[in-house]
Amino acid sequence: MAASAYHLRTDYLSEAFGIDNPRPEFSWRLEAADPSDKHAVVFQNAYRVQVALHDTFKPTSIVWDSDMVRSQDQSGIIYAGGLLQSITKYYWRVQLFDMHDMCNGWSKAASFETGIMDARLWKANWITGPIEDTEHAMYFRGCLTVSTGVLKGRAFVSALGWYRLLVNGTDLTGNCCVPRWTPLNSAVEYQDYDITEHLRPGLNHFSVVVGDGRWRGSLGLRDTRAKHHDPVAAFVQININFKDGNRIAYGSSEEWLAGTGVIIRSDPKLGEEHDLRISNDEWLGVVAPTPPTVQGSRWTRARLLPTPQSRKLIAEETPRTKEIARLRPKGILRSPTGKQIFDFGENIAGFVVAKLRGKRGTKVTITYSESVGPDGELDLDYALPIDGQAQRDSCILSGKDTWFQPWFTRHGFRYAEIEGCEDVGFNDIKALIVSADLPETGTFACSDWRLERWRGNALRSMRANFADVITDCPTRERLCWMGDLQAISPTSTMFLDTQTYLRRTLRNISLEQLPDGTVPPFLPGECAQVYKGLWWPMSLITTSVGWGDACVLVPWTLYQYYGDKAVLKRQYASMKKKIEQQGYGKYFKGERNEHEPYILDSDKMWGEWLEPGSGMWGLFKSLMIPSPNTATAYFAHNASVLAKAAEALGYTQDADHYLQLSERVGVAWRAAFVYSDGRIGDDKQDDYVRALAFNLIPASSRPSTITRLVEIIHDSNYHFGTTLLNTAMLLTVLSDNGRADIAYKLLLNNQPHTFLNQIEAGATTIWETWTGYDEAGRAKGSHNHVATGACTRWLQEGIVGITPLEPGYRKIKIRPLLGGGLDHASGGIETPFGLCKATWRVLVATGMVQLCVTIPAGASGEIHLGNGQVHDVPTGTHFFEWQGSSTEPPASSASSIVSVETVVLDRASVASPPQSPGGTLMPHSRLPSMVSRGGRLLPPSAHQGPTKLRVDSVNSIANVGKPTRRSFQLPRNGGVMSWPPLAAT
């Protein structure tokens, strides 16, 4: 039976509006032409794509017809028609053929609209305000008289800084951080708005305000402002088509007005200040503006800002950073000094909106933090930027009750302290979560609530750190560190659809890559000429392996998990440039000097980072003392990845060259760092994880290598001893080498300095350090560090066992790993072909294991059972059962007769472990003990409520039993809050 196509996307976007890709890519998924036929074989042997100017697809409107193409590809189908026109809506559809060349008609039509495809169509100018103003947000206004009969109106808007656009008083930008950061002297994003419904006959007002953003705001490790040296600026172009065929193009120019307004200071990191006594009426066109020639007018004529020829306007290619959710406070604390502190129950990134009351001229401040200190006051010292300023918004009241919110800043926080006004009511404040609007793609559930919470914390950290760039944390430097990027990228694909987001990141890296091939250790990299060069301490480590190597490893990640060959081809030159840059040292002397060209030991590099227990000396050592062991291992690995990329692209000569290079570097690495007794390097966890993950150890030596790694882990009392780059790989290395039991022991260890200890202490995001707090109970390090949670990938790839066996999950390996006392687990991921899911359960009474897997249409599966059998399966849902091992009993001896198709779990009405006022890590001896019921590991509870049933499946967590709510007294400040927080239930 023929298949039909659904989920049609252009450039991997469901809503492709304002794109400027001259050769967009099309993708779709398969489903049975007759959904009622449960036994249909869904298969695509060929496809045919049509692109047209009208959804009728009349022959005269068709601009491209691919004809029948014999291919099973469902993504990466590149448009090959004529030149696409600017500001034009196109429709496309696909027809699928089975192995007998039978088809079932066309799919439903999808559409995309182009932005400005031809640079000659730009008519607007970059405009700015008074040259001497370096602090205020800049307000711009322009007017246009429009006749009746508007058919279509579009606004193309950009800024040097973050901006908002209002048309006739309607805010079209909303709570978005636009434009996102790009290397701003090379490329600046513009946003495309449909303004058709907002235009009116007669005079129309276009109002734009520009804040500092990443242009003039604090940037880099030193929080230096105004690195670009030019003032903030705006660019606005209005294109209107009329029903009579006429068209007009109107843009920002010297005729526009520029001036100051309500926002008197804005910084993306440090915060924003408003003067609410200033009226917006003139800016919005409610009243006529005071002419610039009149004394006391806040307006001047806009100035044209000269722009370098190198700066190009580019369209968006990934979802915007915008408001994605709102939270009400979960509690209100009163500090010993009398300040109100609002607890939102979880660590987030965004800002608060509050209704403020007070006398005219009163200054109100809102200060943000992730923690309240043991003294009951907001903890600010742990994550202050280098210049010592806290995250703080403020406003000067107008005397009227006012809803206040910042427009051009973003903070990392759980707590918000308000000072200077009358008490704010519980219903008069909310927190807005601002993040890249990326769809969730993965699910996970199991019989241990702590692992579910750990995954939830990792997702929350991704939401907090996936902004206009991937940041390390939302409180401190807020930079896209290359080491963090390469560590988190594979994991991110199992939580969110990050394909377009990582594509944009890679474009930025290519633009920031230095002529010699080196890559800055972070973005924004401060390497562009406009920055006056990289800060000298950072210039020492531009060659740092594991960090700049992100430009090699992340494209390969996109190919592995999305089958994205286009990005592999686009980034190939950057990848190759990086490999050719890697310098050589002189590690060997005398008879072994034939290996010298392949050992890297001559440059400064981060090496590893955040080694447990290393202290300040460890950080200094990582930064200043080369690590040839680490560097050479990455050299071999990068060359191997480049060889595979070249092979995938058909570059056979390059593939052979870089494979040989990788092998030679591997030989040199073994000669230098593997000793006669089989020990590696410094004999630490990192050395063995890296060696095994990068396949630097021959097959004959792998058993002894994994045995030594297990010995080191045992000697550490089953604690992670790895650093930032290797923590993400440790669990996978263990399970891939037959030691899933050790991986489970590591993961489920809840002693201090472990992931689960953080969970049981009430963490709601992933911490930068293992403890999160010092001995005095004050916060230490970031409490929202995205890369530290990279090893949560093992929940899907290990416990549930779903991994891509072929790029883009065309063939899917499912090998669930039972153990750790778990009696069931389930998970799923939206692959390019559709949802793949797996659920397993141990029937305790019989020891039988049941497994249910679903393979999406267009893909196939390879199922590995615990009894050693391997099954190749096609699209569809498949059930398996085998006798489990008696060496790894589940947590409960209670019998179970429930099938794997509908897993019914017992979950009592109990609370999650409480967190002290500042989130202080409770000593291990005081942690409540875990309890088990019905095979499910449950949170501790002060009392047991009635048992409720929970139905778990990959798709549904509805009707989960809610914890009974109770209260507890917070020490020192006397505040009472409800527990558990709603967000924790």
Confidence bin at 959 (pLDDT 50/70/90): very low
If pLDDT is split at 50, 70 and 90, which confidence band does 65 have?
Answer: very high
Q: Which of 547-561, 885-899, 912-926, 956-970 has the lowest mean pLDDT?
A: 956-970
Lowest mean pLDDT across 447-461, 663-677, 737-751, 927-941: 927-941
CA–CA separation, 261 vs 125, rounded Å? 22
The sign one gets for the Cα dihedral 731, 734, 735, 737 is: positive
Q: Give SS3 for 788.
A: helix
147: its two tokens: 């006749």
Angle (CA) 715 718 719, round 5°:
100
Residues 6+ apart with CB under 8 A from 589: none
pTM: 0.89
Whether residue 179 is preceded by a cis peptide bond, meaning omega within 30 degrees of 0, is yes
pLDDT of 557 above 80: yes
pLDDT at 37: 65
* DSSP bridge partners of 353: 430
pLDDT in tens, 429-461: 999 999 999 999 999 999 999 999 999 999 999
Alpha helices in 227-360 (DSSP H): 281-284
Q: What is the pLDDT of residues 254-311, one digit of tens each?
A: 999 999 999 999 999 899 999 999 999 999 999 999 999 898 899 999 999 988 878 9
Place of tokens 């006749």: 147
Answer whether residue 791 shows pLDDT above 60.
Answer: yes
**Per-residue pLDDT tens digits for 511-539:** 989 888 888 888 886 654 444 455 555 66
Residue with tokens 């953003």: 213
pLDDT at residue 38, as a whole number:
61
Q: Do 151 and 186 meet the contact criterion of CB atoms below 8 Å apart?
A: no
- Domains of the chain (ranges, CATH numbers): 3-114 (2.60.40.10), 122-315 (2.60.120.260), 321-436 (2.60.120.260)
Tell me what pLDDT residue 932 has.
Answer: 41
The pLDDT confidence band at residue 567, using thresholds 50, 70 and 90, is: very high
Question: What SS3 state is found at 35?
Answer: coil
85-103 tens-digit pLDDT:
999 999 999 999 988 888 8
Contact 107, 8 (CB under 8 A): yes
pLDDT at 279: 95
d(CA 792, CA 798): 10
Q: State the residue for tokens 């209670």.
A: 894
**Residue 49 forms beta bridges with which residues?**
94
Confidence band of 954 (pLDDT split at 50, 70, 90) = very low
User: pLDDT tens digits, residue range 189-206?
Assistant: 999 999 999 999 999 999
132-183 residue pLDDT tens: 677 899 999 999 999 999 999 999 999 999 999 999 999 999 999 999 999 9
Phi-psi region of 12 (alpha: psi -120 to 50; beta: other; left: phi over 0): left
Tell me: the pLDDT tens digits for 588-598? 544 557 888 88
What pLDDT, in 10s, does the model give residues 302-358?
A: 999 988 878 999 999 999 999 999 999 999 999 999 999 999 999 999 999 999 999
Token look-up 């899911």 returns: 837
Q: Please report the pLDDT score of residue 77 as a whole number.
A: 98
Condensed to tens digits (0 to 9), the pLDDT of residues 816-843 reads: 999 999 999 999 999 999 999 999 999 9
Rounded distance between C-alpha atoms, residue 619 and residue 694, angstroms: 24
Question: Is the pLDDT at 887 greater than 70, yes or no?
Answer: no
**Which pLDDT belongs to residue 953?**
28
Q: Residue 478: which pLDDT band, with cuts at 50, 70 and 90?
A: confident
pLDDT at 890 (0 to 100): 45
Share of the chain above pLDDT 90, in %: 71
Sequence length of the chain is: 985
Percent of the chain predicted with pLDDT > 70: 81
**From the centroid of its chain, how far is CA 308?**
32
When pLDDT is cut at 50, 70 and 90, the band that residue 35 belongs to is low
Q: Which two tokens stand for residue 611?
A: 């080694």
DSSP symbols for 625-652: S--HHHHHHHHHHHHHHHHHHHHHHT-H
Tell me what the mean pLDDT of segment 419-426 comes to: 95
Instruction: Please classify residue 473 by burial: count the beta carbons closer than 10 Å to its beta carbon, then call 0-12 exposed, 13-18 middle and 19+ buried.
Output: buried
- Give the pLDDT band (50/70/90) at residue 895: very low
The predicted model gives 49-72 an average pLDDT of: 97
Q: What is the mean pLDDT of the chain?
A: 86
Structure tokens at 22: 């001259």
The type of residue at 858 is G
Least confident range from 196-205, 255-264, 478-487, 659-668: namely 478-487
Q: What's the pLDDT at 66?
A: 97
pLDDT > 80? residue 945 = no
